[in-house]
Amino acid sequence: MCAGRIDLSFVLRAFSNGMDGVFIGACRLNECNYITHGNYHALNMVLLCRKIMEHIGLSPERLKIEFMSAGEGILFAEAMNEFSNRIKQLGPLGQKEGTDVNELRSKLQDVTKLVPYIKRVKREKLALHLGQEEEYDELFNRDEISRLFRDVISYYIDPDKCQACMICHKKCPVEAIGGGKNQIHVINQEKCIKCGTCLDACPPRFGAVKTISGGVVPPPIPEEERTIVRKSKKQ
């Protein structure tokens, strides 16, 4: 019902599944039926996605958003005709780009895995409601997108600080955190989608979850060294 529901991952998935173009029709800005103004969110997401597409070598022209009301049938038909003609000119995915379609798909899948990270890092900009459409031209820029992918954040549990409270383990949405009662927890970097939930969840008094930006994550401590012996049990 609302363009604001369209997640960045939906658009990337459409391209990964072989769509040559994605068109998003949204209500006119400032005419949202809900207090959320989801069409602003859709616009911000599209602008971010277009820059990401440019970064991975996919023509940003393949993604379009238009604002119109449900009563503007003629405008909708014109917009769709114009978009479909442009997509026909660009040809199938990869043709205009001069890139192998499988290579593009693999890049799209890599970016899709990072969507929770991208949304977390860019959440403030994604939530912006600027006054005019023109003000959006520079909302996201190329350097910023290059940095976004160069300095990808990794999450790491400091074994000296982890108290095995299991909170992060329970909250991780993809079961990427290993550990149990009295066991120092470790993050499986292959499974981690970099959503940052563990960072928010780890109690500040422990502060065991650390972020590493663009660097190498230390290997997890060996299993035989993970047991925590509490003081009361030592006596």
48 contributes a contact to ligand SF4 by CB under 6 A: no
Instruction: Report in angstroms how near the CB of residue 215 gets to ligand SF4 at its nearest.
Output: 16
3-state helix, strand, coil in the chain (%, to 5): 45, 10, 45
Query: Are 190 and 157 contacting, i.e. CB atoms less than 8 angstroms apart?
Result: no
Identify which range of 72-80, 91-99, 104-112, 198-206 contacts ligand SF4 by CB under 6 A: 198-206
Identify which range of 93-101, 143-151, 167-175, 212-220 contacts ligand SF4 by CB under 6 A: 167-175
Task: Show the tokens assigned to 79.
Answer: 């917009």
Q: For residue 228, how many other CB atoms are within 10 A of its CB?
A: 13
172 contributes a contact to ligand SF4 by CB under 6 A: yes
Q: Which of 186, 197, 220, 226 binds ligand SF4 (CB under 6 A)?
A: 197
Query: Are 7 and 111 contacting, i.e. CB atoms less than 8 angstroms apart?
Result: no
Give the DSSP letter of residue 121.
H
Which of 110, 109, 91 is closest to 20 using CA atoms? 91
Give me the count of residues in the chain: 235
- CA 98 – CA 137 distance, rounded (Å): 26
Identify which range of 18-26, 48-56, 105-113, 195-203 contacts ligand SF4 by CB under 6 A: 195-203
Identify which range of 38-46, 65-73, 81-89, 196-204 contacts ligand SF4 by CB under 6 A: 196-204
Instruction: Report in angstroms how near the CB of residue 209 gets to ligand SF4 at its nearest.
Output: 5
217 contributes a contact to ligand SF4 by CB under 6 A: no
Instruction: Report in angstroms how near the CB of residue 201 gets to ligand SF4 at its nearest.
Output: 6
Q: Which of 159, 196, 210, 212 binds ligand SF4 (CB under 6 A)?
A: 196
Q: For residue 227, how many other CB atoms are within 10 A of its CB?
A: 12
155 contributes a contact to ligand SF4 by CB under 6 A: yes
227: Cβ–Cβ under 8 A, 6 or more apart, which residues?
182, 183, 184
Place of tokens 């030592």: 234
Give the DSSP letter of residue 31.
-
Of the two residues 50 and 185, which places its CB atom closer to ligand SF4 in the complex? Answer: 185
The contact set with ligand SF4 (CB under 6 A) reads: 155, 157, 162-168, 172, 174, 176-177, 185, 187, 192-198, 201-202, 206, 208-209
